[in-house]
Chains A and B, each alone.
Chain A
Amino acid sequence: MNKPVLILGGGPAGLSAAHALASIGQKSVLVEKEDRLGGAPILSGYARLVPSREWAKDAIGGMVERVAGNGLVDVRTSMTVKEFSGEPGNFTARLADDSTLDIGTAVLCTGFTHFDPISKPEWGFGTFPDVVTTTQVEQMFSSGQGVRCPSDGRKPKRVAILLCVGSRDRQIGREWCSKVCCTVSCNIAMEIREELPDCHVYIYYMDIRTFGLYEDLYYWKSQEEFKVKYIKARIAEVTSDGEKLIVKGEDTLVKRPITIPFDLVVHAIGMDPNVDNMLLSSIFGVELQKHGHIARASTYSAMGATSRPGVFVAGAATGPETIDDSIAQGQGAAMAALAGAPAIKAAAE
């Protein structure tokens, strides 16, 4: 295929797709709306990644470097696509600066948006400074500062992590499980216990979904080696007595209401569909599924196909996804993008 593949989004899936295409000699144009590549792990300042415990800036940074330095990948940062038209093998994309690209196929690697817990005011985010998100705790670690209460910088003695904030909640239209937050929370809990051994960490859960091999590596390990405590309760509200945060709910295993004081409350925020998905849907002519993620046309026969032939999708754009699966899907979509162009098809036949 002579024409390049358009890759939209420079996160793990997009970087993986670009690298896969370049490694077999295929040109691509990587369009990223932010001013640098790396996606959520870099832009949101994640710390150590699951499951390798590599720092995000090293692991994803490495992916960025091998793409940024590659002559077959035309990287356009701080750029978006305005219009998209044509047929598979012969698409035209008009960019925000009104330049146009002739491309063969496109891969949407547009990722997700972190849930904003301001939509759940009863849990105190935005009201109390010591109520933070998992992303903020990641930043506390990646900046080297360590876990501190934002209100006065003290080391917390007791931390509550609330799971399913922005997930599994019909009240706010989030009817999906965000898939990664349980494992991420176990990881964060262990890191807090590692940094502050005197700090007690409690995880409030409805179910623990550390799927697959994360069961013993994260859930069991956090209990057995790091003495993290798990309380089966969905929290009703987070308030304050002026000094401490007060977490209220029902401990469902003892059938008793609880009002427990904490220094720091962490919301394990879920993965929303990218806020730009409606726009992307109209520009690229791809359908969204009912929750607002980019719909996949086929689960089994075509990797990463969307409702529009020649336009493919990979990573968290299709729904909550892990980094390693996003990378795998990026490679799968790269393959599909090659096969989806008529020139390649003709050559193969």
Chain B
Amino acid sequence: MPIHEKSLIRPENLLTHENLEIEGVDVSGHWSTFIESRVVTDYNEALEDEIAALPGGENIHRCWQCGSCTNACTVNALNPDFNPRFWIYLVRVGMEQELLRDKDIIWQCVSCHKCTYVCPRDVVPEGVMKATAHWLELKGHRPKSPSMLFDEVFSEQVFATGKIEEGRTLRDFFKRTGQPLTQDWLVEMIKRLFRHIPVKLMITLGLANVIQPRTRGWAGPRAAIEEYVEEQEARQRQALGLDRPPATGAERPLAEAAE
């Protein structure tokens, strides 16, 4: 059957063959374009439970598809393809492949929480977006986002030492995101620091960089935090059916610090 409106069909669903013969009939070339079925043939019932197991996704099952979240959405105003209502539905019903089509925009949520305030069923769509973005990373559908990497660098340092040392955080973050240390703005900032900072403070900062001070009596809290984080991560891995921790995590500084 000729296709009058190819624009109505997703490009990946249009198939043509250079050489194809079916039951003796030549169906090669673009005169014999085929359309792949777009029929949904099953629900993945695990998907909703997986998202609900991640922080923020707990209330996803409450959604009744009113669209208040999408209406209120800051990002949707700029990009109509950013549609929290739609993704919540896909997750709830278990249309995983359909969800993955949008994997490169789901993380764009800016966490303004307008959706949280308008939602009549208290679904907390912002949390669901966060959980869904996290899910995409844990499942390996997307690399970790810069903000996720920053969160990791930051929290790992706090967990290990009980303190935060900005220079180290910055260096680790640049390392993990593959950015060079010699960035113009950074060089300029350090130059000015040297120019204006009191000598005593500079020495303190320098020492802190070298000896990595820790909060006194941190071993106890650290062990407790470590246990809790591992518990949570194990729970999430189990809920998502993942055997090992996510591959991109590399070795964990937390474990180093414990040695």
A96 → chain B closest CB, angstroms: 51
* A251 near B65: Cβ-Cβ < 8 Å: no
* Proximity string of chain B (88-127) to chain A, C-beta cutoff 8 Å, 1 when within and 0 when not: 0110110100100000000000000000000001000000
Interchain CA distance A219-B61 in the complex, whole Å? 12
Known contacts A223-B64, A227-B61, A253-B65, A259 near B86 by CB under 8 Å: no
Instruction: Give every chain A residue within 8 A of B42 (Cβ-Cβ).
Output: 260-261
**Which residue of A200, A219, A253, A257 contacts B39 across the interface (Cβ within 8 Å)?**
A257
Q: Is A101 among interface residues, defined by CB-CB distance under 8 A?
A: no
Q: Is B22 among interface residues, defined by CB-CB distance under 8 A?
A: no
* B89 near A253: Cβ-Cβ < 8 Å: yes
**Which residue of B45, B86, B121 contacts A254 across the interface (Cβ within 8 Å)?**
B86
B71 → chain A closest CB, angstroms: 15
How many chain A residues touch B (Cβ–Cβ < 8 Å)?
21
A contact patch SS: strand
A154 → chain B closest CB, angstroms: 18
**Which residue of B40, B45, B121 contacts A257 across the interface (Cβ within 8 Å)?**
B40
Instruction: Give every chain B residue within 8 A of A231 (Cβ-Cβ).
Output: 93
Instruction: Give every chain B residue within 8 A of A229 (Cβ-Cβ).
Output: 92-93
* B93 near A220: Cβ-Cβ < 8 Å: no
Instruction: Give every chain A residue within 8 A of B121 (Cβ-Cβ).
Output: 220
Q: Determine the residue in chain A with the shortest Cβ distance to B98.
A: A254
* Proximity string of chain A (209-244) to chain B, C-beta cutoff 8 Å, 1 when within and 0 when not: 000000000011001100101111000000000000
* A257 near B43: Cβ-Cβ < 8 Å: no
A187 → chain B closest CB, angstroms: 18
* B64 near A230: Cβ-Cβ < 8 Å: yes
Interchain CA distance A259-B147 in the complex, whole Å? 40
Q: Is A59 among interface residues, defined by CB-CB distance under 8 A?
A: no
Q: Which of A219, A232, A258 has the most CB of B within 10 A?
A: A258
* B62 near A224: Cβ-Cβ < 8 Å: yes
Interchain CA distance A272-B25 in the complex, whole Å? 54
A248 → chain B closest CB, angstroms: 9
Q: Is A256 among interface residues, defined by CB-CB distance under 8 A?
A: yes
* A223 near B61: Cβ-Cβ < 8 Å: yes
Known contacts A200-B45, A253-B89, A254-B86, A260 near B40 by CB under 8 Å: yes
Q: Is B19 among interface residues, defined by CB-CB distance under 8 A?
A: no
Interchain CA distance A254-B39 in the complex, whole Å? 11
Count how many pairs of residues, one from A and one from B, have CB atoms less than 8 Å apart in the complex: 49
* B39 near A256: Cβ-Cβ < 8 Å: yes
Q: Determine the residue in chain B with the shortest Cβ distance to A200.
A: B45
Interchain CA distance A220-B64 in the complex, whole Å? 9
* B93 near A251: Cβ-Cβ < 8 Å: yes
* A254 near B95: Cβ-Cβ < 8 Å: yes
Interchain CA distance A257-B40 in the complex, whole Å? 6
Interchain CA distance A269-B169 in the complex, whole Å? 64
* B89 near A260: Cβ-Cβ < 8 Å: no
Instruction: Give every chain B residue within 8 A of A261 (Cβ-Cβ).
Output: 42
B106 → chain A closest CB, angstroms: 16
Interchain CA distance A208-B90 in the complex, whole Å? 20
B115 → chain A closest CB, angstroms: 17
Instruction: Give every chain A residue within 8 A of B65 (Cβ-Cβ).
Output: 232, 253
Interchain CA distance A232-B95 in the complex, whole Å? 15
Interchain CA distance A241-B61 in the complex, whole Å? 30
Instruction: Give every chain A residue within 8 A of B90 (Cβ-Cβ).
Output: 254
Q: Is B196 among interface residues, defined by CB-CB distance under 8 A?
A: no
Known contacts A230-B64, A254-B86, A259 near B39 by CB under 8 Å: yes
Known contacts A220-B121, A223-B62, A254 near B89 by CB under 8 Å: yes
B236 → chain A closest CB, angstroms: 19
Q: Is B183 among interface residues, defined by CB-CB distance under 8 A?
A: no
Instruction: Give every chain B residue within 8 A of A202 (Cβ-Cβ).
Output: 43
* Proximity string of chain A (244-266) to chain B, C-beta cutoff 8 Å, 1 when within and 0 when not: 00000001011011111100000
* Proximity string of chain B (29-45) to chain A, C-beta cutoff 8 Å, 1 when within and 0 when not: 00000000011111101
Interchain CA distance A254-B121 in the complex, whole Å? 21
Q: Determine the residue in chain A with the shortest Cβ distance to B39.
A: A257
* Proximity string of chain B (2-16) to chain A, C-beta cutoff 8 Å, 1 when within and 0 when not: 000000000000000
20 A-B residue contacts at CB 8 Å? A200-B43, A200-B45, A219-B64, A223-B61, A223-B62, A224-B61, A224-B62, A227-B61, A229-B93, A231-B93, A251-B93, A253-B65, A254-B93, A254-B95, A258-B39, A259-B39, A259-B40, A259-B41, A260-B42, A260-B43
13 further contact pairs, Cβ within 8 A, besides A253-B65, A254-B89, A254-B90: A200-B43, A202-B43, A224-B62, A227-B61, A231-B93, A232-B65, A251-B40, A254-B86, A254-B98, A256-B98, A257-B40, A258-B41, A259-B41
Q: Which positions in A face B, CB cutoff 8 Å?
A: 200, 202, 208, 219-220, 223-224, 227, 229-232, 251, 253-254, 256-261
Which 3 residue pairs spanning A and B have beta carbons closest together? A258-B40, A257-B39, A256-B40
